[in-house]
Amino acid sequence: MAVAAAAAPGALGTLQAGRARLVAACCARLGPRWRLPGSWTCSRVDSKIWARGWTPAAGGAAWQRGYSAEVKTEDELRVRYLEEENRGIVVLGINRAYAKNSLSKNLIKMLSKAVDALKSDKKVRTIIVRSEVPGIFCAGADLKERAKMSSSEVGPFVSKIRAMINEIANLPVPTIAAIDGLALGGGLELALACDIRVAASSAKMGLVETKLAIIPGGGGTQRLPRAIGMSLAKELIFSARVLDGQEAKSVGLISHVLEQNQEGDAAYRKALDLAREFLPQGPVAMRVAKLAINQGMEVDLVTGLAIEEACYAQTIPTKDRLEGLLAFKEKRTPRYKGE
């Protein structure tokens, strides 16, 4: 008994140390200037749909932002920074109509480049992922391209898809998937990486990889159970079942379902409404709230509460917090700057 009693404090210390490391790692994701409590070191498309696309810079390797009144139709990814009352919202529009928006090598590269730029842009407040092709969100991997790959090429390519989807999941701002059409395989995995999913009732969604004698490889086996529960996720993956919007809503796969409109963009319009709801909130608070939720869901409750405490602490020294209090006192709308 004495030995057990002596060992207990050591085990508790190890557990606490492990939790402390998790919380520290959580805070580290906020950037080098963020610290644990006690060690502060604080330092556009408008209504006319102007587009800000991605174009190769001189030299070919690096990419830079390009600005144009209209996006070229051959662009497979359209990146739009909304303006005026929608300033802060960025729309990623997939545009491979001839291939049902399937994930090709080129599209994966373009998505990765876009996401890499967005994650460090402090002016970005919410990101919407949608399709520019009516009736299609994303049909999954480009199987015609895949058929031309050797066995040794398939694994690395799937790893790139998984990495790109993980990058979207790890974006620091809220992300919304607007599913106005077919979302199968990697297309649904892309949507699962977003914080919120909305869909038209006519949309079709499913992880259908077992029909091809493979399994979901872009995070589907992990994110689907976290979204709808293990048993039902297994049922859907084992059966390769495809759900419509109403069915997806009933199992918790999506947050909102809309009757499709004549323009075919009901889900996108709902996503835009949600994004507008997010815009008035404090930018720093939004980022740390997302981080606290995401990290907390992966650990036990005690560790999760410690992560929440550390994240809350990051909002205390901000100018935005003081502005929020002052605006409340003066009965006016706060003017947050993300500082």
**Half-sphere exposure (Cβ direction) of 247: Cα atoms closer than 13 Å:** 11
Percent of the chain whose pLDDT exceeds 70: 78
Catalytic residues: 141, 186, 189, 209
Above pLDDT 90, what percent of the chain? 69
Mean pLDDT of 154-162: 91
pLDDT at 30: 57
Does residue 54 register a pLDDT over 70? no
Mean pLDDT of the chain: 83
Quickly state the pLDDT bin for 14 (edges 50, 70, 90): low
H-run or E-run covering 232: helix 230-239
Give me the pLDDT at residue 19, please. 58
| pLDDT score at 24 | 62
Dihedral of alpha carbons 326, 328, 334, 338, sign: positive
Which residue, among 187, 202, 207, has the nearest Cα to 244 in the 3D structure? 202
Q: Which residue has the higher pLDDT, 136 or 2?
A: 136
pLDDT at 228 over 70: yes
Instruction: Output the pLDDT for position 150.
Output: 87
232-262 pLDDT tens trace:
999 999 999 999 999 999 999 999 999 999 9
Which residues are within 8 A (CB) of 84 and not within 5 positions of it... i.e. 6 or more apart? 46, 47
Q: What single string gives the DSSP state of each residue in 71-105?
A: --TT-SEEEEEB-GGGTTEEEEEE--GGGTT-B-H
Residue 179: helix, strand or coil by DSSP? strand
What is the SS3 assignment for 138?
strand
Higher pLDDT, 143 or 284: 284
Q: In which band, very low, low, confident or very high, does the pLDDT at 18 lie, cut at 50, 70 and 90?
A: low
pLDDT in the model for residue 42 = 33
Would you state the pLDDT for residue 55? Answer: 35
Q: pLDDT tens-digit profile of 109-125?
A: 999 999 999 999 999 99
Q: Is the Cβ–Cβ distance between 93 and 54 less than 8 Å?
A: no
Tell me the per-residue pLDDT of 73-104, one tens digit each, with 9 for 90 and over.
Answer: 348 999 999 999 999 999 999 999 999 999 99
pLDDT tier for residue 35 given thresholds of 50, 70 and 90: very low
Span 41-56, average pLDDT: 35
In the structure encoding, which two tokens stand for residue 70, read together? 């209209």
pLDDT at residue 275 in the model: 97
Instruction: Quote the radius of gyration of the chain (alpha carbons, Å).
Output: 22
**Cα angle value 10/12/16 (rounded, 5°):** 115
Mean pLDDT, to the nearest integer, of 210-216?
95
What is the reported pLDDT for 9? 46
Tokens of 80: 């739009």
* pLDDT above 70 (res 128): yes
The pLDDT of residue 316 is above 50: yes
Instruction: Calculate the alpha carbon distances from 215 to 146, 154, 238 in Å.
Output: 15, 13, 9
Residue 147: what pLDDT? 86
